[in-house]
């Protein structure tokens, strides 16, 4: 039955009921319970569909929604992928961070960026996103980010990318001596990095 016709039928039934003995009120309560149950069954049905859909298919649907500008659907699908993945899924968590950042929900964005960074294969881009987040929107958590980057440097001492992120962060918060120290460490790891060499020279000249 068409939903509109169904509700029109229910209203007509309600009008025909006598007003005494709370018949109309009881009828509305029963009708409301039925509508609520139907709504719940629809929600459960959709959830079952998502639970049975392969993760790669859900990820593809989420990416398509994101490309089309449907961030609401992308957010829903990426959350399902993130929750269902047997190990930390970088893409779903990173995209959740991006969507929430664009929505101005910075603390929630931080949560998913940090989850993405816990993926062992996470690219350096997620750390630049975190850096931008702490610089512009969560300044009270800047020391926590510095601690995180130092831990990453210790865990992967030959990864100059982590060192550059840390040096750049120090530079942007105005701590030039620390920025120089970390840029110099990065240059030792990659002496061919002309951008790092130029940053060191510029910072020393500005002291």
Q: Are 84 and 53 in contact (CB under 8 A)?
A: no
* Listed range (3-7, 118-122, 154-158) with the worst mean pLDDT: 3-7
The DSSP element (H or E) to which 201 belongs, if any, is: helix 194-206
Query: If you average pLDDT over each of 83-87, 116-120, 128-132, which comes out highest?
Result: 128-132
Question: Tokens representing 29?
Answer: 């309560």
pLDDT in tens, 42-90: 444 444 444 557 888 999 999 999 999 999 999 999 999 999 887 899 9
Please state, in angstroms and as integers, the Cα–Cα distance from residue 158 to each residue in 146, 185, 190, following that order.
Answer: 18, 10, 9
pLDDT in tens, 13-43: 545 555 544 555 555 555 555 445 444 444 4
pLDDT (0 to 100) of residue 41: 42
* Measured distance CA(144)–CA(127) in Å, rounded: 13
pLDDT in tens, 163-175: 999 999 999 999 9
Buried b / exposed e over 91-103, threshold 16 CB at 10 Å, is bbbbbbbbbbbee
């Amino acid at each position: 039955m068409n939903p509109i016709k169904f509700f029109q039928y229910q209203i007509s039934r309600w009008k025909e009921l006598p007003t005494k003995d709370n018949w109309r009120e009881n009828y509305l309560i029963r009708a409301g319970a039925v509508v609520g149950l139907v709504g719940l069954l629809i929600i459960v049905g959709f959830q079952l569909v998502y639970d049975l859909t392969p993760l790669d298919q859900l990820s593809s649907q989420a990416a398509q929604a994101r490309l089309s500008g449907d961030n609401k659907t992308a957010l829903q699908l990426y959350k399902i992928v993130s929750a269902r993945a047997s190990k930390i899924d970088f893409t779903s968590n990173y995209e959740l961070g991006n969507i929430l950042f664009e929505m101005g929900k910075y603390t929630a964005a931080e949560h998913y960026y940090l989850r993405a960074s816990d993926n062992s294969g996470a690219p350096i881009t997620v750390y630049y996103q975190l850096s931008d987040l702490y610089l512009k929107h969560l300044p009270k958590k800047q020391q926590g980010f510095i601690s995180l980057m130092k831990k990453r440097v210790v865990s992967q001492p030959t990864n100059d990318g982590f060192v550059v992120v840390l040096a750049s962060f120090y530079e942007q918060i105005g701590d030039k001596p620390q920025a120089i120290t970390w840029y110099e460490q990065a240059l030792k790891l990659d002496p061919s990095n002309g951008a790092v060499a130029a940053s060191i020279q510029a910072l020393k000249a500005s002291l």
